[in-house]
Amino acid sequence: MKIKNIILVTLMTFGLAGCVDLDYNEVTVRDEEWVYSSPINGIKNMVFDVYAQVFHEFRTGYNGAWMNGAIKASATDEADYALSMSDVHKYYNGGWSPANPFPDTWIVAYRAIAEIHTYLEKIDKVNLDEYIYDSNYHNMLLQFELFPYELRFLRAYFYFELAKSYGDVPLITTTLTNAEANSATRTPVQEIFKFIVDECDAIAEYLPYTYLDEPGAEIGRATRGAVLALKARTLLYAASPLFNKDNNKELWRQAALASKDLIDRASGWGIKLSTYNKLWGHDAFYNPEIIFGFGRGASNDFERANYPVGIENGNSGNCPTQSLVDAYEYADNGETFKERHPGQINVTTEDPYAGLDPRFELTIVKNGDRWPSNSIQQIEIQSYVGGFNGAPKYGATTTGYYLKKYVDGNCVTTYNNPTTRRHTWIVMRLAEVYLNYAEAMYNYYDDADSKGDFDMSANEAINVLRNRPDIMMPEFSGSSNFEERYMRERMVELAFEDHRFWDVRRWQKGSECFSAITSANLQNLNGEVILNRETVIRTWNDKYNLHPIPQSEIKKNDNLTQNPGW
């Protein structure tokens, strides 16, 4: 086998700091022979290596993901991480700085972009003529036709991650020399967003809406739906207050158009809303609502990190807050938990959780629940102080609750005869697109019932989600307090899916949402469990809306400037 005239520069690991600021022109530990031992394995594996660098909370190997078991929800008002050793606490305790610029989004994203450029610039020199009589030749051609468009999608994705994290960033579209990399300047964020949107428009028609009819019937790769979802999300961010300082209304209209385009095409592409409880679990990777997701092989790592203390090998982990619980509404009239129960609650004599939005029970483990669901470990959870799963045990919940969403209760975490399950992290799903559309429509028309030039109002889009058979919550109507109700709905629907961390920032509401969290201080008094709300103060500074650019990068490049306040 021969592949002619190919020079490939790739990295095997993501954790090493780059020798130049944009991590171009790195020294490889993979030689050409390894990468190109066969096109279907060598080159394909290189492409999938780029996929492997996509940011998601199940991914290990870089400081910004699991953070010793924590997810970024625990840096928001959704949760608190019960163990002190995690870096997630640095987001609000002063440990975050240009000298300590976790997560390593900058390094990982630019490294992936560099690998993409190398491939795109060399793909036309790959010669498959020698395989024309190979039985797999036709499949090779089909895959090689898709690879450039998949990589352009991934490049657009990584630029979105950079833009939402840092704002203005260098926009690089070719391989750079060291000198060029060390003199790159920051491109205005709206130009970055435009680049992403233009790329999505350019490549969408070349990608399949499903890979079931493609060689290998592989899933988890970039589809036409994923491209349109990225475009819609990008335009929503571009229109948001953090990046749209002048409140250019046209940006909101463009965001609505992009979301509606995907909504209208979804059914024809096999994308449809799922029941809420099917969004995670062993078979979630095949869920038709998930537009783009990343699967992990069978494990019980996430369960060990988030099962309650008292459960064998349970480490408590990411504990939902009372702030989140207070956002759930009752099915009878849409009144929130906090509105109905603003003060002390005796949870022994009354059940304040009865009748709550079904998404509450599917997301959160409360005192008295039987959990986990496997028959070997299931117990009645006692999360009150002095209870079997409560303080003062080390690592016990700091909020009164434990996490259920994404946690597969069927996993057995005992030392003897443990079991494992597959897990899927949701990057994009259809419900988010409906919410994006609703937000854009309201901000464009200033009226939640207006359809304008569209055929669905903001309220109607939200009601599609609330009218799902397994949810059935009261419909939204009118524009009174719509923004507050919408933000609450988005928090509940997308809880623990890595949206809240970014949504509050793009809305510029950090001081309102993240400067304090509310916990449920559960006390057992004479056999009765009493819930008292307890406020925990956190540090918030508006500079946190954007990440600090790593100081090491600024030292290497005088043309880079630091973000405000850092």
What is the mean pLDDT for each group of 10 consecutive residues in the chain (566 residues)?
Answer: 29 26 36 50 78 82 54 97 92 92 90 91 73 76 88 98 98 91 95 98 96 74 96 99 97 98 97 97 94 92 96 96 98 97 97 98 98 98 98 97 97 97 96 99 98 98 98 98 98 98 98 98 96 97 97 94 96
Q: Residue 59: give its domain's CATH number.
A: 1.25.40.890
Domain hosting residue 127, numbered range: 1-67+104-220
- How distant, in Å, are the alpha carbons of 102, 127, 213, 306, 560 from that of 26? 21, 25, 37, 38, 20
Q: How many helices (H) and strands (E) does the chain have?
A: 19, 11
CB distance 115 to 49 below 8 Å: yes
Residue 251 lies in a domain: no
Residue 372 lies in a domain: no
Question: What is the count of structural domains for the chain?
Answer: 1
Residue 517 lies in a domain: no
pLDDT at 48: 84
Long-range contacts of the stretch 506-510 (C-beta < 8 A, 24+): 506/164, 506/237, 506/240, 506/241, 506/242, 506/243, 507/240, 507/241, 507/242, 508/241, 508/242, 508/542, 508/545, 510/540, 510/542, 510/544, 510/545
Residue 304 lies in a domain: no
pLDDT at 41: 62
Residue 31 lies in a domain: yes
How far is CA 138 from its chain centroid?
36
pLDDT at 12: 26
Residues comprising the chain, all counted: 566
Residue 113 lies in a domain: yes
Residue 10 lies in a domain: yes
pLDDT at 530: 98
Residue 419 lies in a domain: no
Assigned token pair, 551: 């100081």
Count of beta carbons in the 10 Å neighbourhood of residue 246: 6
